[in-house]
Structure 1
Amino acid sequence: MKVKLIAINLILITIMSCSSVKKQQEDSFDTAITGKYWKLKTLQGKVVKMDKNQERDIFISLKKHDNSIKGFTGCNSIAGQFTLKEGNSITIGKLAVTQRFCPNIDESTFLKVLNLADNYTVKDDVLQLNVGRRAPLAVFEAVYFN
């Protein structure tokens, strides 16, 4: 009887420690991308410059506590949901976009990139959204405010 209890306890301890390690790994990849203001630097290989009619930079921000994404397309504000999985997998969806008319600003490419991205990389405060193993769809830089 004692041997069975010891074996069960060892199994339970092993299971609990594995889930703890998995949770720590999930938290580490979550914090690499969430809780930051990501300013768009390049879109499909082209440097992004602010248009004279643009109010502010194009950006995204991902919030871990509710898996929400917010941002600005150059003309309109966006809000939606994202999901992160192991292997730096990301899914961005359910995007809602305000409907301001901005004739000189093309935001459709940016919105398509957000919907297409299926993985990301983060290194030295640079976020890349990718699809498959191709060149980055979009490159962002973390911006910190004082």
Structure 2
Amino acid sequence: MKMKCLYVAVAAAVLSLAACRSSKDAVSVNDLDGEWNVVEIQGQAVQAESQPFIGFDAQDGRVYGYTGCNRLMGALTLSKPNKIELGQMASTLMACPDMETERLMLNALASVRSLEVSGKELLLYSGGKKPVMRLQKRFEVVPLSSLNGDWKVVAVNGTALPAMENVPAFSLDMTTHRIGGNSGCNRLSGEIRHDAAVENSISFANVASTRMACPDMDTENQVLSALNQVCAYGMLANGHLALMAEGSTVVLELERSK
């Protein structure tokens, strides 16, 4: 996906992922491209408040990701089968309460030499028989028409919504390109836009709402703010719809209304 973010360069490194399988079993661009959650590092399950991930974009020649604290970006070159070169790595410089997952992730990446795709998993190796990182597809890109219908908001900016009487919910009409629904207090409506050059792009424009005052407006304000940031979508493994802001940050998680 083509998203523009500001990154601060902190290092330049080149990592080589050497091929260890035959060209017949080579990992293809289609196998590799996309975003992958980091679910295991050095045999240990990742348990982070914010899910780290790595994204590969062969067409634009770039790799990017999130360590659970900071954003990463670098150049990506594909040459021989199963061989990748990552260069000019850059990162934001935020300090977080827990930097351990980030440290483990960066150390593991620096040791990677080969890779393989096993089912829905991408395995990265440093030369031994056990992978140093295990990745799983972050989301699936589905046709825009698949988004048609009614959805309720289950999480905003990674935080699950508390039990509430009027749950924020959207109705997406992909034929008329309109969004309707409520944000927790007020009714809303607006336009759905899609950039044909970017497969999973989606954004919402000219969103208007009624102006009722409710006892608790915090959830509504968060939902509306998140909605204005959306520029992409993806279907999560649990069947939920992820609406993402620039940098692949999931700002809204939606579940089909029954």
Q: Same fold (TM over 0.5)?
A: yes
1:124 aligns with 2:119: yes
CA–CA distance in structure 2, aligned partners of residues 121 and 39 of structure 1: 15
Where does residue 20 of structure 1 map in the other structure? Answer: none
Number of the residue aligned with 2:51: 57
Q: 1:49: Cα distance to partner? A: 1.2
Equivalence map 1:101-140=2 (5 Å): 101-106=95-100, 107-140=102-135
Contact 1:91 1:117 in 2 (8 A): no
Indicate whether 1:70 and 2:69 are aligned.
no
* In structure 2, distance between residues paired with 1:41 and 1:143: 10
Change (3 A) 1:28 1:112: closer
> Residue 99 in 1 paired to residue 93 in 2?
yes
What is residue 35 of structure 2 aligned with on the other side? 37
Structure 1 unpaired stretches of 5+: 1-24
1:11-70 Cα shifts (integer Å, max 9, x gaps): xxxxxxxxxxxxxx8x96111111x2100110011000123xxxx310011001122011
Q: How much has 1:86 moved relative to structure 2?
A: 2.8
Aligned-pair identity in percent equals: 26
The CA distance in 1 between the partners of 2:58 and 2:113, in whole Å, is 18
Q: Which residue in 2 is equivalent to 1:5?
A: none
Higher relative contact order (CA 8 A, sep 6+): 1
Letter in 2 for 1:63: D
Residue 118 of structure 1, CA deviation: 1.7
Whichever structure has more helix as a proportion of its residues is: 1
Contact 2:40 2:135 in 1 (8 A): yes
Opposite residue 109 of structure 1, the aligned amino acid is L
- Residues 67-121 of structure 1: per-residue CA shift (max 9 Å, x gap): 2011000100000022333341223232111000113222122112222212110
SS in 1 for 2:56: strand
1-structure distance, mates of 2:27, 2:105: 27
Query: What root-mean-square deviation, in Å, do the aligned CA atoms of Structure 1 and Structure 2 show?
Result: 2.0
Q: Does 1:83 align with 2:72?
A: no
For the pair 1:143 / 2:141, whether they are aligned, the reply is no
Going by fraction, where is strand more abundant, 1 or 2? 2
Does structure 2 retain, via aligned residues, the 8 Å contact 1:37–1:59?
A: yes
Residues 76 and 84, structure 2, Cα contact 8 Å, conserved in 1: yes
The aligned amino acid for 1:120 is L
